[in-house]
Structure formats: structure tokens, C-alpha cells
Amino acid sequence: MLDAAILGAVLASIVAAATILLLASLGELVAERAGTLNLGVEGMMIVGAAVGYATAYGSGSLILGTIAAVLAGAALSLVFAGLAIWLAANQVASGLATTILGLGIAGLIGSPFVGTRLDAAPALYIPGLSDLPLIGRVVFGQDAFVYLSLILLGVVAYGLARTRTGLVLRAVGESHVAAHALGHPVRKIRTLAVMFGGACAGLAGAQLSLSYTPFWASDMTAGRGWIALALVVFSAWKPMWLLAGAYLFGAVSILQLHVQGFGLGIPSQLLSALPYLATVGALVVISALKRGQGAPASLGVPFVPDR
């Protein structure tokens, strides 16, 4: 029923669907490893999508649009950082406020662009390689966002585990008091981690409005920021498990559509819930296998330095 070309196309869809989640959750993972729980992912993502689209539409350059989206996501994350890190406000409330603010700002920025469209970000094409059956389009025929997400994943995974910067960042997340006593600027480090999270969420938004569905519509992220947040928790704050979770979620969410198309008679409501069930199930199992790898100890706790 499925020949190689179709299977290749399906796999390519899965990779694209997973990339949005991977980009957004990678950034949040870094912020959370530094001890800040930023529930503003959805807001930073949609602002990235709106600013990215507006810039790309105005300038005609997808690269400029992407850069603008990254900067916009980082800028909105500063609102959260200011409230939650520097004013030591409740992180959950600050994060929710950031999401609500982001949805509003994005709707405002995007309103002149409703009903317009862009040409999608071009996919890579390497003569020969991209034409390989099955893996050609999946490995050598994606757009820049996919490769960027994998590079970022490598950088984050390596950076957190093997570099001094990563060690300090983790120390701040585990015990901000101890890190502070050692002379590390806890709040500055957290702010930078949150900004990285915002930048990644903005990048995910840019993938959505410049590549995946290259147009602007209010609320077009449709809750993907929340899924990214959940993936971070379920992956037990491990970059490589995040990769597995994002791709599993992407795979099940695409495959359930195909199952429906074949008309197997499985209720569509159940199929729509499958990506969530499968991801939760798989990640719970892997977290259970490696016990004692819980949340960063200072996650969500505001830090107020005593002089």
C-alpha cells in the first residue's frame, strides 16, 4: 500500500512535526536546568511566529525573518526574567502572564498580515543524495530549521554535560545558594538561560510561520508551546530523551492521520489522543528505568541573595 516514495514523504512530515517541538523544548530545558520554570513558551513561540512572518514579509528575506523571530522570543523572555528572576515573583504566574501577553502582542503585530502568504523556506536539495529512495528526502531534503535543531541539540547536550559553562548552569539550578556562595552570579546566569529559551521558542515559531505553514493567523501555535513544556518534564531534563520524546510525538501525531485515512474504524478521538498517550507512556518508562534523575533541585524557587 505504501511505496518507498510515499514512506519517504511520511517520514519527512514526521521530522518536520518533531522539529517544532524539539526547538521549543530544548530552550526550555536549558532554562529549567538553570532553575527557572518559564511557562511562557507558548507566548514566546507565537511572538516569534508573528515577528518572523512580519519581518520576512516586509523584507522578503526568510533569514532576516528568522533572526527577528529569535530576537523577539528572547525579548519577550526578558519580561518573564524581569518579573520572576529580578523581582522574585511567582514563576508560574509570571510565565502564564508571559504567554497571555505574547498571544496578545502577536495578534496585534500580525493583524495587518492576515490573509497574506509567503513562499515556504526552501528545502535542501543535493543532487543525487536527496533523490535516494526512502532516506533521501528525510535526511538530505529538509529545510534549514531541521538541521539547525539537530545542531542545537548537540550543542546543548554537549554544553550541559561537558563544559564548565554547563556545570555552572546546572549548579545554579541544583542549589542557587551554593552557587551564589561560590561567587557565581545566579540571577545573571538564569536570565541568560531564560533568554536562550526565549530565542529557541522564537525559532520554533519562525519554523511554523515561515516553513511549516507559511502564513500568519492568530493563535496558530495551537498549544504546541505547552506540549514542548510537558516534553521537558517527561524527558527528565535530558536532551537526548527530549529528542526521543519529540520524535515519538511527531511520529504518532502524523501516523494517526494516516491510520484514519486507511479507514480502520478506530475512533478518531482516541487516535487524536494517541500522541500524548504514547509520549507520556514511553517517557514515564524511561524515567522510571533511570531513577534519581529528577528535576533540578532549585527549579521554580526564586533566588533572593542575602547580602
Partner 1 sequence: MRKILSLAAALAAGLVLAGGVGTQAQAQEKLKVGFVYIGPVGDFGWTYQHDQGRKAIEKEFGDKVETTYVENVPEGPDAERVIEQLARAGNKLIFTTSFGYMEPTLKVAKRHPKVMFEHATGYKRDKNVSTYNSKFHEGRYILGQIAAKTSKTGTIGYIASFPIPEVISGINSLMLGAQSVNPDAKVKIVWVNSWFDPAKEADAAKALIDQGADVISQHTDSPAAMQAAEARGVKAFGQASDMIAFGPKAQLTSIVDNWSPYYIKRVKDVLDGTWTSTDTWAGMGDGEVVMAPYTNMPDDVKAMAEATEAKIKSGELNPFKGPIYNQDGKLVVKEGEVLPNGDILSMNWYVKGIDDKVPGK
Is residue 124 part of the contact set for partner 1 (CB under 8 A)? no
Which of 57, 80, 212, 249 touches partner 1 by CB under 8 A?
212
Is residue 43 part of the contact set for partner 1 (CB under 8 A)? no
**Nearest approach, Cβ of residue 24 and partner 1 (Å):** 13
Which of 115, 128, 183, 292 touches partner 1 by CB under 8 A?
115
Cα(265)–Cα(263) distance, integer angstroms? 5
Cα(146)–Cα(276) distance, integer angstroms? 22
Q: Which three cell numbers stand for residue 279?
A: 509520549
Is residue 220 part of the contact set for partner 1 (CB under 8 A)? yes
**Nearest approach, Cβ of residue 3 and partner 1 (Å):** 10
Site string for partner 1, 234-253 (x = CB under 8 A): -------------------x
**Nearest approach, Cβ of residue 14 and partner 1 (Å):** 9
Q: CB–CB of 56/212 below 8 Å?
A: no
Is residue 120 part of the contact set for partner 1 (CB under 8 A)? yes
Q: CB–CB of 244/235 below 8 Å?
A: yes
**Nearest approach, Cβ of residue 40 and partner 1 (Å):** 18
C-beta closer to partner 1: residue 121 or 195: 121
- The stretch among 8-16, 52-60, 74-82, 193-201 that binds partner 1 (CB under 8 A) is 8-16
Which of 174, 185, 218, 226 touches partner 1 by CB under 8 A?
218
Which of 59, 61, 90, 272 touches partner 1 by CB under 8 A?
272
**Nearest approach, Cβ of residue 220 and partner 1 (Å):** 5
Is residue 135 part of the contact set for partner 1 (CB under 8 A)? no
Is residue 260 part of the contact set for partner 1 (CB under 8 A)? yes
Give Rg (Cα) of the chain. Answer: 20
Is residue 130 part of the contact set for partner 1 (CB under 8 A)? no
Is residue 149 part of the contact set for partner 1 (CB under 8 A)? no
Cα(110)–Cα(130) distance, integer angstroms? 35
Cα(42)–Cα(25) distance, integer angstroms? 11
Is residue 258 part of the contact set for partner 1 (CB under 8 A)? yes
Site residues for partner 1 per CB under 8 A: 6, 9-10, 13, 17, 20, 107, 110-111, 114-117, 120, 208, 212-220, 222-224, 253-254, 257-258, 260-263, 265, 267-269, 271-272
